[in-house]
Every structure is written in C-alpha cells, then in structure tokens.
C-alpha cells in the first residue's frame, strides 16, 4: 500500500479508522516498508494478537514486549564431611514472562493478546466454525467455510490503487512566477508599442 505510514499515522489518530494487519514475521514489515516505517507501524499498533510463528527473531521480540516478572530461585548444597549436612538459600530473580522458546511452542486454540497499557494475557480463540457468528452468517463446518471464503474472494472486484495526489507547492510557485514574468513582458511590450506610435512588434523581441 503506497504511503502506508502516512495513512497509518493520520487516519488512525484523527478519523478513527481501524487497521487489521496480519504478518507471519516482523521481517515482512521491514522488507515491505523499510526499517523506520516498520518500527513506526509497530509503535502505533494498539493491540497485538500473537497466534503462531516459526521465526526466532519474532519470538524474541514478543518475549521482550511482554516483559519480565520476579520469581524465587532455590539452591541447596550438602557436605557429608560437615556436621550440619549442608545449606540452602533462596534468591529473587527476574525471569521473562514467556521465553522465546515458550512462545514458539504456543499452539491454537490459544493466543497471546497484548494491548497497550494493560497486562498481556493468553486466551482461547476457537475455530470460526465454533463461534455464534458462524451460524448467524449462514456458514457451516471448517471445510465449507473455506469454500465460502474462496467464492467470496473470487467474486470481489479488483480495484486499482491510484497514486496519492499531492500538492506540489514548488511546481505551483514556479508556474505563478512564470505567469507573472510573462505578464510583465506583455505590459512592457504594450508600453513600448505606445511609445513607438502603435507599431506591433513580435513577442519576445524586447
């Protein structure tokens, strides 16, 4: 989508337009829009829904995004030569809420939801065929729904995206200057004709 960064920043904040973006890995955004725009898109995404990935870099980014928590770590040692038999200790350590390896093992119907300003949560997301909306929309089982979606997709009109019309102020300024210059030359030509007794000279010879 051309100029997606501009659409995402302006329409999302001012007009309340909601974008649903689906990617298999964050590298797709970087490849399509470049590192800066890709990061801008991620920074402005209010809700992240993680389903599944096989990309380790994506899993690491998700793990870092949901943060850490404090847990206890116990250690114990023994010494047969000592009368007291050994010692044990407890320490507080920081641990990732979900490690990249744990994120890679997350399977459906579970998904990880991360909303800005709230704690992350793992929730249940069953297949569409098990939802109430499935019956309300006249759909059926999973295989039938796939056929319906394909038929509807094939019936959609293909629309061409025209380039965004921008106001080229530099071009307009140059045109105004050229028009002003031509007007001044014409006025000089007419004044010269009056001084010469009405003789009409070709334009551009003054």
**93-132 pLDDT, tens per residue?**
889 999 999 999 998 889 999 998 899 999 988 776 777 7
60 pLDDT above the threshold of 60: yes
* Both tokens assigned to 58: 């994506």
pLDDT score recorded for residue 104: 94
Q: How far apart are CA 139 and CA 133, in angstroms?
A: 9
Residues of the chain with pLDDT > 70, as a percent, come to 82
Residue 46 Ramachandran class (φ > 0 left, ψ -120 to 50 alpha, else beta): alpha
Q: Do residues 27 and 96 touch, judged by C-beta distance below 8 A? A: no
pLDDT band of residue 203 (cuts 50, 70, 90) is low
Q: pTM score, two decimals?
A: 0.53
């Amino acid at each position: 989508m051309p100029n997606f960064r501009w659409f995402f920043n302006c329409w999302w904040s001012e007009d309340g337009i909601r974008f649903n973006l689906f990617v298999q890995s964050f590298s797709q955004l970087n490849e399509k829009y470049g590192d800066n725009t890709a990061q801008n898109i991620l920074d402005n995404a209010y809700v992240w829904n993680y389903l599944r990935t096989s990309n380790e870099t994506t899993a690491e980014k998700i793990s870092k995004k949901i943060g850490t928590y404090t847990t206890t770590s116990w250690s114990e040692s023994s010494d047969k030569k000592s009368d007291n038999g050994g010692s044990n200790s407890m320490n507080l350590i920081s641990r990732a809420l979900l490690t990249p390896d744990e994120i890679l093992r997350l399977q459906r119907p579970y998904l990880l939801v991360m909303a800005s300003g709230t704690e992350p949560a793992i929730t249940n997301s069953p297949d569409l065929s098990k939802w109430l909306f499935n019956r309300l929309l006249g759909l059926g089982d999973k295989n039938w729904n796939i056929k319906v979606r394909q038929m509807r997709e094939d019936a959609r009109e293909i629309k061409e995206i025209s380039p965004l019309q921008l106001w080229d102020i530099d071009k307009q300024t140059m045109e105004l200057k050229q028009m002003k210059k031509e007007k001044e030359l014409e006025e000089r030509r007419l004044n010269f004709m009056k001084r010469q007794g009405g003789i009409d000279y070709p334009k551009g010879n003054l």
